[in-house]
Structure 1
Amino acid sequence: MDDALVLGEKGYVLSNTLGEGSFGKVKSAYCNPLKCNVAIKIIDKRKSPQDFLKRFLPREIEALRCLHHPSIIKTYEIFETSAGKVYIVMELGEKGDLLDYIKNTGAMEEDITCIKFQQLVSAIKYCHDLDFAHRDLKCENILLDKDLNIKLSDFGFSKFLSRDKHGRTILSKTFCGSAAYAAPEVLQGIPCDPRISDIWSLGVILYTMVYALMPFDDSNVRKMICIQKEHRISFPNSKYLTAECKDLIYHLLQPNVSQRLCIDEVLKHSWLQTPKSTTPSPLLAAEEGERSQNLCEGKPEHEQQVVLVPGTVTTGFHSGSCI
């Protein structure tokens, strides 16, 4: 039985394809019982590798069933057919993802960015307080609803953290994500608390929101890691930002994990507490725009993803968000 028939029996009318990944696709649909449009992720288990089925898919389903927050995409229903297809029915991000929005509209004004970033940070605090790490934070995984509110999505790499008998977080020793958003410790294969690595990714996202640029050029990952470890961040003169905004970016993109902000410190940062000024502020670090990467600079069709074994620096191209 094809997807349209299976979903039709449950009251869904399939529409266009929103995206396709390595092991599934996402389609829009109208839900008659809910009287609204939804997104449906369709995964064919028969065409998916065992590692994905045993590790990543169960984690994603567990996350979607457990996480409930206004800035996290809502999951309405998850079911599987005898033919081996999994259907995940979710809230529709009607305005698409944050990356496409920035590409189409340009850099966001600082006061608007602050509101949207507060929503995202609130969602991440909710996750981190539950000992849960997203591990693939990037603009493509942040959807926007009809009112342009943030909706965090795509939990294919997510993980609930374990603790040892002393209550200490057990560090992650295998790594995954997108090179342009990944923290240097992840790219180097150093065991780490992935919640701290999520914080670095927030810094990349915030920089991208205010500049419509990536803070680092990931075309040469080894060179990028060297620049990151030197804590060299470009703040282009093309746009004025308040000193508070630059300060937050600078501390989010802190290569030393022991000095990087935790999520509670992010929320308490002055930039998220005070009204925004339009007064020009001095650069905090690095040269004007030297190593930022334009979002429209010919990124590959399949974004550069990384899956790492400890002690390595490995990159490769994978479609979709799961390996």
Structure 2
Amino acid sequence: MSKAGDKYDFPPHHEKRLQEKGYTISTLLNSGKYGLVCNGSATVNGSTINTAVKIIDLTKTSADYRNKFLPKELYSLDTLKHEFIIKIYDIILITNTVYVFMERADGGDLFDMLKDSAYKSGIPEPKAKILYKGIASALQYIHGRGWAHRDLKSENVLLNADKTIAKLTDFGFSTSCFNTQTGEKVLKDTYCGSPFYAAPEVLRAQPYDAFKTDVWSMGVVLYIMVNNKMPFSNALLQKLAKLDPNSKTPIQITKNSISNDCKDLMLCKTPIQITKNSISNDCKDLMQKQLDINTRTRIDMAHVLSHQWFK
């Protein structure tokens, strides 16, 4: 089993083909469900720059992924260009392997950043505001192009070396939110992303507005940034995930260790309550508006960015 730091083992002839195009791959950074990410380099305008390389072996993926998710991801990577989205240099297919050469984030991801003891109680608001505004503007741009991300989480927020700039990455579950023939907005019914960041309507397997579920996930990201903990317990998520959307009987919650606020949230009665005293009222208000159970009143990304917290 390969681990971080191991040299990438090329399929026959791939290394030479990539070198002819000005690309190299060295060591493994990490691995995921659908492929590997390695260190690499690219020759751009005569200069060699360090890159990350996402490597997808198509023979090890499902037909559903190859036919449904991968084409959308590659289209998103190729067309969505924004200063706070990780830059793509090239996408190369050699036999059954896809190589995506992209901007390398030397500061790691938000999840790793919060492991630092300096952020034990969360990222201070002034710094969190700068990082969050960047990825929020990227998401507003994505939504403005008619696409939703659908896998927003701390691991998909990457940072530069000094951790002053955050960018979005990983468009494996991205999707267009409009019917290509009629131009009408369509609801989605594919369950995807991380359950800890998923909106209640996704966990309940209900058709959902992917723009609004992205806003919920961004609310979770903001909550984690300033608190360094998840807003919802695993027990709460399990209850939400098991809720029968067709049931006429309200879910029964008896565990004494679950707070009344969480119980109300599970019953879709009230928004999440945020009580940490060190968080400003404006920041709390923004999170509450994003983590709004009612999709009709949950704000969109334009209203997120125009919120008083950013003033």
TM class by smaller structure: 0.7 to 0.9
The 5 Å alignment of 1:13-32 reads 13-32=24-43
1:243 alignment partner, one of 277, 281, 284: 281
CA distance in structure 2 between the partners assigned to 1:255 and 1:2 by the alignment:
53
- When residues 211 and 50 of structure 1 are mapped into structure 2, their CA distance, relative to the original with a 3 A threshold, is same
- When residues 246 and 221 of structure 1 are mapped into structure 2, their CA distance, relative to the original with a 3 A threshold, is same
CA deviations over 1:258-297 (Å, ceiling 9, x no partner):
0100111111110012xxxxxxxxxxxxxxxxxxxxxxxx
Residue identity in the other structure for 2:36: K
Question: What's the counterpart of residue 138 of structure 1?
Answer: 153
Number of residue pairs the alignment of both structures matches: 271
Shift of 1:151: 1.1
With normalisation by structure 2, the TM-score equals: 0.82
| Residue 230, structure 1, aligned to residue 269, structure 2 | yes
Confirm or deny: 8 A CA contact 2:136 2:301 kept in the other structure. yes
Q: Secondary structure at the match of 2:66?
A: helix
| Residue 162, structure 1, aligned to residue 178, structure 2 | yes
CA distance in structure 2 between the partners assigned to 1:250 and 1:220 by the alignment:
18
CA deviations over 1:136-162 (Å, ceiling 9, x no partner):
100100101234211100000000122
- When residues 182 and 144 of structure 1 are mapped into structure 2, their CA distance, relative to the original with a 3 A threshold, is same
- When residues 111 and 43 of structure 1 are mapped into structure 2, their CA distance, relative to the original with a 3 A threshold, is same
CA deviations over 1:93-126 (Å, ceiling 9, x no partner):
1101111111224211101111111101100110
Question: What's the counterpart of residue 258 of structure 1?
Answer: 296
Unaligned regions of 5+ residues in structure 2, if any? 1-11, 242-262
Confirm or deny: 8 A CA contact 2:14 2:94 kept in the other structure. no
Confirm or deny: 8 A CA contact 2:271 2:291 kept in the other structure. no
Unaligned regions of 5+ residues in structure 1, if any? 274-323
Residue identity in the other structure for 2:204: Q
Root mean square deviation of aligned Cα: 1.9
- Largest Rg, 1 or 2: 2
Question: What's the counterpart of residue 10 of structure 1?
Answer: 21
Confirm or deny: 8 A CA contact 1:24 1:42 kept in the other structure. yes
Greater relative contact order structure (CA < 8 Å, 6+ sep): 1
| Residue 85, structure 1, aligned to residue 97, structure 2 | yes
Question: What's the counterpart of residue 110 of structure 2?
Answer: 98
| Residue 55, structure 1, aligned to residue 68, structure 2 | yes
CA distance in structure 1 between the partners assigned to 2:289 and 2:56 by the alignment:
39
Question: What's the counterpart of residue 172 of structure 1?
Answer: 188
Shift of 1:36: 1.3
Residue identity in the other structure for 2:115: K
Question: What's the counterpart of residue 3 of structure 2?
Answer: none
CA distance in structure 2 between the partners assigned to 1:219 and 1:3 by the alignment:
47
CA distance in structure 1 between the partners assigned to 2:145 and 2:76 by the alignment:
11
Question: What's the counterpart of residue 143 of structure 2?
Answer: 128
| Residue 71, structure 1, aligned to residue 87, structure 2 | no
CA distance in structure 2 between the partners assigned to 1:185 and 1:111 by the alignment:
32
Confirm or deny: 8 A CA contact 1:217 1:224 kept in the other structure. no
Q: Secondary structure at the match of 2:197?
A: coil
Q: Secondary structure at the match of 1:71?
A: coil
Q: Secondary structure at the match of 2:30?
A: strand
Q: Secondary structure at the match of 1:126?
A: helix
The 5 Å alignment of 1:285-304 reads none
The 5 Å alignment of 1:277-288 reads none
| Residue 272, structure 1, aligned to residue 310, structure 2 | yes
CA distance in structure 2 between the partners assigned to 1:172 and 1:21 by the alignment:
25
